[in-house]
């Protein structure tokens, strides 16, 4: 299965090389001379949470990264040099992420993958810019990261785009929802996404009746449910991690909010949310970064190697992030400036679609929409959202 997958990826890589080469020749540009790479081993630093409330994301990214490194080394490494990931568990906390970044800087690493959350990545992004070390996040979505234009990149798109997408999905699927409340965490992820949604929703003429902000460490979730009950919304946009979201939804159920429409973002797309809320999550909608895996052999290989029945979205994002970095080092060398330059130029087609970076180091947006149907997350086609009948407008 791995041989079949490598052949598939080699064919895609050859096609990309042909397209990029043709573009360069037609524009009269010259190909820059490649830089050097270490002779014995190429080390990529990885800062991710393997403990704490974002553990599943960190583990998923790591599984994808490990698969990519296996493929790279099976094909002879980068210019014949083997690749290794040096991992640092951030526990989902900024101070440990900072510690890990400084540790990798002291090791002389040129490029680091991390972190999973916007909060942690925003703490280390200015350090990366100051030190001149390339930082590539597979999971941070805060628009504030766009200000770091030299050495900070991400393979997931900004919440600016996803907030607009949530507004479009809500108004297309549920035009009858006249009163809408938004509930969001007061961290970088929650506030940025909520602000993007609210701005777009109001621009489209939506009626936002409540804005409820809550802290990650608060425990009195019934107060949020009580406030929602008093606001009597037709729909609630919930921007949270799945554990907190489950407690809020269960408290809302106890308040008798049986007919409320719930819509959220990718952090809620987790089987644990469905198990925690039971039938109450039926019909819930959530948007997420597009992760439709275009390689059946990759999906089959992953499920066999890790004994899983499905491929969660961080896995292909981790894989593609590592493959992008390896291709850039192959072409440009291991020096940070060369890697930064290469990332700004690359056009990559991976296991879950095409990726290229804009002038801010951001990936152009593409989103999927999922709904809980019969106790499972089910992907909805965009044409069903934009042109569907009332049969697609489901609520609890």
Under the banding of pLDDT at 50, 70 and 90, the label for residue 25 is very low
pLDDT for 17 equals: 37
pLDDT for 235 equals: 98
pLDDT for 31 equals: 32
pLDDT for 200 equals: 94
Over the stretch 328-372, which tens digit does the pLDDT of each residue have? 999 999 999 999 999 999 999 888 878 899 888 998 877 889 999
Say what the pTM is. Answer: 0.74
Under the banding of pLDDT at 50, 70 and 90, the label for residue 387 is low
pLDDT for 386 equals: 60
The mean pLDDT value for 42-46 works out to 98
Please tell me which residue, 232 or 294, carries the higher pLDDT value.
232
Residues 48 and 64: their CA atoms lie apart, in Å, by 13
- Say which range, 24-33, 65-74, 192-201, 256-265, has the weakest mean pLDDT: 24-33
Burial class (CB in 10 A: 0-12, 13-18, 19+), 264: buried
pLDDT for 28 equals: 32
- Give CA angle at 210 (205, 215), nearest 5°: 130
Task: Report the 3 state secondary structure along the chain.
Answer: CHHHHHHHHHHHHHHHHHHHHHHHHHHCCCCCCCCCCCCCCEEEEEEECCCCCCHHHHHHHHHHHHHHHHHHHHCCCECCECEEEEEEECCCCHHHHHHHHHHHHHCCCCEEEECCCHHHHHHHHHHHHHHCCEEEECCCCCHHHHHCCCCEEECCCCHHHHHHHHHHHHHHHCCCCCCEEEEEECCHHHHHHHHHHHHHHHHCCCCEEEEEEECCCCCCHHHHHHHHHHHCCCEEEEECCHHHHHHHHHHHHHCCCCCCEEEECHHHCCHHHHHHHHHHHCCCEEEEECCCCCCHHHHHHHHHHHCCCCCCCHHHHHHHHHHHHHHHHHHHCCCHHHHHHHHHHCEEEECCEEEEECCCCCECCCEEEEEEECCEEEEECHHHHHHCCHHHCCCC
pLDDT(122) > 50: yes
pLDDT for 363 equals: 87
pLDDT for 296 equals: 79
Over the stretch 95-118, which tens digit does the pLDDT of each residue have? 999 999 999 999 999 999 999 999
115 preceded by cis ω (within 30°)?
yes
pLDDT(215) > 80: yes
Radius of gyration of the chain (CA): 22
The CA distances from residue 244 to 162, 180, 249, 313, in Å, are 20, 20, 9, 20
- Looking up tokens 């019969």, which residue turns up? 374
pLDDT(393) > 80: no
pLDDT for 267 equals: 87
Mean pLDDT of the chain: 87
pLDDT for 173 equals: 92
Over the stretch 133-168, which tens digit does the pLDDT of each residue have? 999 999 998 999 999 999 999 999 888 888 998 999
Under the banding of pLDDT at 50, 70 and 90, the label for residue 270 is confident
Residues 282 and 278: their CA atoms lie apart, in Å, by 8
pLDDT for 220 equals: 83
pLDDT for 55 equals: 93
| Structure tokens that stand for 28 in this block | 């009269």
């Amino acid at each position: 299965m791995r041989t079949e997958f490598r052949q598939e990826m080699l064919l895609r890589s050859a096609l990309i090389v042909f397209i990029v080469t043709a573009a360069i020749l037609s524009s009269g540009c010259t190909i820059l001379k490649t830089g050097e790479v270490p002779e014995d081993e190429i080390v990529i630093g990885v800062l991710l949470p393997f403990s704490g409330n974002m553990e599943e994301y960190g583990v998923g990214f790591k599984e994808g990264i490990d698969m990519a490194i296996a493929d790279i080394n099976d094909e002879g490494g980068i210019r014949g040099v083997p690749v290794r990931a040096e991992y640092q568990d951030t526990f989902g906390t900024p101070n440990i992420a900072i510690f890990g970044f400084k540790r990798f800087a002291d090791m002389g690493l040129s490029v680091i993958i991390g972190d999973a959350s916007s909060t942690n990545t925003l703490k280390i992004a200015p350090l990366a810019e100051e030190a001149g070390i390339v930082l590539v996040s597979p999971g941070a979505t805060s628009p504030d990261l766009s200000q770091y234009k030299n050495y900070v990149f991400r393979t997931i798109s900004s919440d600016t785009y996803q907030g607009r997408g949530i507004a479009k999905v809500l108004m297309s699927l549920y035009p009858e929802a006249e009163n809408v409340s938004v509930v969001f965490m007061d961290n970088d992820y929650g506030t940025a996404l909520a602000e993007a949604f609210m701005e777009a929703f109001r621009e489209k003429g939506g009626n936002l009746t409540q804005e409820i902000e809550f802290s990650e460490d608060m425990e009195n979730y019934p107060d949020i449910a009580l406030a929602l009950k008093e606001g009597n919304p037709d729909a609630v946009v919930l921007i949270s991690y799945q554990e907190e979201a489950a407690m809020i939804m269960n408290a809302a159920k106890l308040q008798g909010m049986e007919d409320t429409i719930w819509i959220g973002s990718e952090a809620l797309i987790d089987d644990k949310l469905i198990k925690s809320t039971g039938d109450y999550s039926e019909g819930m909608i959530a948007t997420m970064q597009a992760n439709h895996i275009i390689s059946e052999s990759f999906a089959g290989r992953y499920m066999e190697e890790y004994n899983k029945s499905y491929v969660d979205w961080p896995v292909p994002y981790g894989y593609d992030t590592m493959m992008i970095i390896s291709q850039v080092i192959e072409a440009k060398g291991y020096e940070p400036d060369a890697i930064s330059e290469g990332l700004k130029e690359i056009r990559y087609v991976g296991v879950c679609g095409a990726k290229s970076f804009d002038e801010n180091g951001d990936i152009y947006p593409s989103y999927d929409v999922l709904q809980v149907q019969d106790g499972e997350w089910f992907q909805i086609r965009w044409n069903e959202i934009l042109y569907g009948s009332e049969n697609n407008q489901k609520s609890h």
